[in-house]
Amino acid sequence: MTFETITHTLPAWLSEEGPDSIIVLSSRARLARNIEGFLFAHRADDKTLNHIVREVLDAAEAAGFDSSNYFSTDDLDDLKKNVLMERHLISPALAKHDGSHGVLVRESEKASIMVNEEDHIRLQALCSGLDTGQVMETARDIEDLLSHELTFSQSKNYGYLTACPTNMGTGLRVSVLIHLPALVLTKEIQRVVRSAGQLGMAVRGYRGEGSDVVGNLFQISNQKSFGRTESEIVSGLDIVVRQIIDYEKKAAGVLMKEAGNQVYDKVWRSVGILKTARVLSTHEFMNLASAVRLGRYLGILKQPEIHQLNELLIITQPGHLQERSGDRFDSSERDRMRADLIRERFVDVSV
């Protein structure tokens, strides 16, 4: 797998195949692990970090990864790092590093391992739609195979040890990427976010921790990784997410009943603008795409396919646009390229 393969394909976890994938774009399980006998990554010297990379790659080969699909931050310029961030394969924290840090990616991008981010190993599994059970199983299987080759730092009292105490215990974070336009439009979202918080869930924007809410997309994840088993964490999130889906569906019903014309108007205008605009920022695109997604959910629109919207969500990001065109452009030029690309994809969507 080359870098280009990654850039030019839709990640499988956005394929619109999973359950409830019109509301839940994707599910994700992430396990944090550190290898016994090595300092945590932020304390380790280059030689140690390098050693860790080799250990992880060897173990990952045994777990079915192809170590030629390892992308080291050493070999990645800022643009390529951006592309990997936009695909949720590396974190902003990892992108800041040079040297012995990187990510190992499985074909289809449904699983990947960040090496020497905050922890030695940040293993993630992703899938389309709401299927936290599946991503948990995939992550556990990979972790199991890795553990045949590596000894992970753990304590009897605290479970797995991590560089930051918030991740210790199971080292698990399960999350979903969910689209909640009706709750935003009916202004009920704040109440839902508060309730989710009380139930131990963190609700964040599209790009995770500290990011703004854009396009009515939210990441919901467990706040604590300790004190409960993996299964309890997964089913805890699952229950909350299913409840939120239920609220969203009810809010959509209320919206159609009380402001049906305005909803039709918003949905159709968004299609109109996406089919005609010559300049589009990421932010505006995400908001318009949100209205189109809502229109598909409500049956107002028959096109485009949800996976087409998901793909645009990825490929219209600044890094992807530049990588696609093979050149660097300023933001206003990118806004033009973005609009061109979107118009091209919306050409068969009739108004």
Binding mask 295-314 for a copy of itself (x = CB under 8 A): --------------------
DSSP reduced 3-state for 217: strand
Residue from 24, 90, 146, 271 in contact with a copy of itself (CB under 8 A): 271
Structural tokens at position 100: 């012995």
Vertex 85 angle, CA 83 and 89, to 5°? 105
The interface region with a copy of itself, picked from 87-95, 118-126, 185-193, 266-274 by CB under 8 A, is: 266-274
Smaller CB separation from a copy of itself, 4 or 265: 265
Smaller CB separation from a copy of itself, 193 or 288: 288
Which residues neighbour 308 within 8 Å (Cβ) at sequence distance 6 or greater? Answer: 345
Binding mask 114-153 for a copy of itself (x = CB under 8 A): ----------------------------------------
Closest CB 206 distance from a copy of itself, rounded Å: 24
The interface region with a copy of itself, picked from 95-103, 127-135, 168-176, 274-282 by CB under 8 A, is: 274-282
Neighbours of 288 (CB within 10 A): 22
Task: Starting at the earlier edge strand, list the strands of the sheet with 121-128.
Answer: 70-72, 102-105, 111-115, 121-128, 24-33, 172-179, 217-222, 201-204
100-123 burial, b at 16+ Cβ within 10 Å, e below that, comes to bbbbbbbeebbbbbbbbbbbbbbb
Distances (CA, A) of 119 to 20, 70, 196: 32, 17, 27
Residue from 208, 279, 287, 307 in contact with a copy of itself (CB under 8 A): 279
Smaller CB separation from a copy of itself, 59 or 339: 339
Q: At residue 133, what is the residue type?
A: G
325 binds a copy of itself (CB under 8 A): no
336 binds a copy of itself (CB under 8 A): yes
Residue from 3, 38, 226, 264 in contact with a copy of itself (CB under 8 A): 264
The DSSP-derived string for 94-154 is HHT--SS-EEEE-GGGSEEEEESSSSSEEEEEEEESS-HHHHHHHHHHHHHHHHHH-PBPE
Residue from 258, 265, 305, 348 in contact with a copy of itself (CB under 8 A): 265
149-161 burial, b at 16+ Cβ within 10 Å, e below that, comes to ebebbbeeeebbb
Smaller CB separation from a copy of itself, 74 or 265: 265
Residue from 151, 157, 198, 332 in contact with a copy of itself (CB under 8 A): 332
Closest CB 170 distance from a copy of itself, rounded Å: 49
Smaller CB separation from a copy of itself, 226 or 264: 264
Residue from 159, 268, 281, 307 in contact with a copy of itself (CB under 8 A): 268
As to burial, measured by CB atoms within 10 angstroms (0-12 exposed, 13-18 middle, 19+ buried), residue 326 is exposed
Closest CB 66 distance from a copy of itself, rounded Å: 43
Beta-ladder partners of 103: 71, 114
Q: How many residues bind a copy of itself (CB under 8 A)?
A: 19
Residue ranges that bind a copy of itself, judged by CB under 8 A: 261-262, 264-265, 268-269, 271-279, 332, 336, 339, 351
